[in-house]
Amino acid sequence: LNTGLGATLRNVTGANFNLTGDGAFPHNQGGVQTAFDNRGTFARNTSAGTATWGVSFIDSLGNLAINTGTFQLTGGGRLAGTITTSGTSTLEFPAGTMSLKGGFGHSGTGRILLSGATLASDSGFGNAVSVNNMDFTSGTIAHEGSLTANGAFNWTGGTFSSNTVGLGGTTGIATVGVMTVSGAGPHTITGAHTLQVGGGTRIDYTGNSAIKVGLGMTIRVQAGGLFDWLGDGILNKNLGGTATFD
């Protein structure tokens, strides 16, 4: 489905958009980026393959369910409410900037995969979002609010930062979550961002990779939390500014 020049495809309130195949929806006709505006119910079903959409995906109500396969969003957009990834399904962000509205939540046994895009929450210290199972392989998580990981969070590469210089948010591991740091990276924490381990949770730092730190970042382990250094990796303060392990 070829599109461009500022077009909008809108799934209206009360309607259902059921994506069962692996067809592409690229922005390839030039001009202002095409938008898919979901105001009804959007479900990815049937296919175990990968469907890639390059348009700006806007969901203001949270009626988004990924039930099978992989749904790739490369054109950015904005998500709100609570989305669901069921079974072994994946919602993937390989490119673009996807903004999460304050109050955004993620549930289900599937995962969110950040593999190159920027994942940002709306600016503001009061904005809180949460994810369940997430794999972070490359790209950037940038916000000034709080992002809480409630399930398995696997960090093999990418950067934690902030949308605004000097205004860092907090990415926290909740009481039912575990973060595993592994892979060749690069891993980076910068921009006054705080990576926080809550009581009863842990970060498992495996392998031999370096975590690049600086510019006001903090790793904070709260009472009852655990930063488990299992490999031979290093915290490399090479970005300038300050770096704190609290």
Two tokens at 29? Answer: 């006709």
Q: Report yes or no: 202 and 153 within 8 Å, Cβ to Cβ.
A: no
Cβ-contact 114, 91 below 8 angstroms: no
Residue type, 133: N
The whole-angstrom separation of Cα 226 and Cα 203 is: 6
Measured between alpha carbons, how far apart are the two ends of the chain, in Å? Answer: 51
pLDDT at residue 125 tops 80: no
- pLDDT tier at 41, thresholds 50, 70, 90: very high
- In angstroms, the CA 97 to CA 107 distance is 21
Tokens of 36: 């898919």
In which residue are the tokens 């990796």 written?
233
Mean pLDDT of 118-141: 85
Burial of 166 (0-12, 13-18, 19+ CB in 10 A): exposed
Residue pair 215/241 in contact by the 8 Å Cβ criterion = yes
Q: Identify the three-state secondary structure at position 174.
A: coil
- Dihedral (CA of 52, 40, 129, 87) sign: negative
Q: At residue 34, what are phi and psi to the nearest 5 degrees?
A: -65, 145
Reply yes or no on whether the pLDDT at 108 is more than 90. Answer: yes
Task: Tell me the C-alpha distance between 75 and 27, whole Å.
Answer: 8
What is the radius of gyration, based on Cα positions, of the chain? 18
User: 42: which 2 tokens?
Assistant: 């959007």
pLDDT score for 76: 96
pLDDT at 144 (0 to 100): 82
Convert the pLDDT of each residue in 192-234 to its tens digit.
999 999 999 999 999 888 999 999 999 999 999 999 999 999 9
Query: How big is the CA angle at 143 (ends 142 and 147), to the nearest 5 degrees?
Result: 100
How many whole angstroms separate alpha carbon 68 and alpha carbon 55?
A: 21
Question: Higher pLDDT residue, 91 or 81?
Answer: 91
Paired tokens of 47: 């296919």
Please give the structure tokens belonging to residue 128: 């809180």
> What is the pLDDT, as a whole number, of residue 10?
95
**Confidence band (pLDDT; 50, 70, 90) for 126?**
low
- 202: tokens are 């842990």
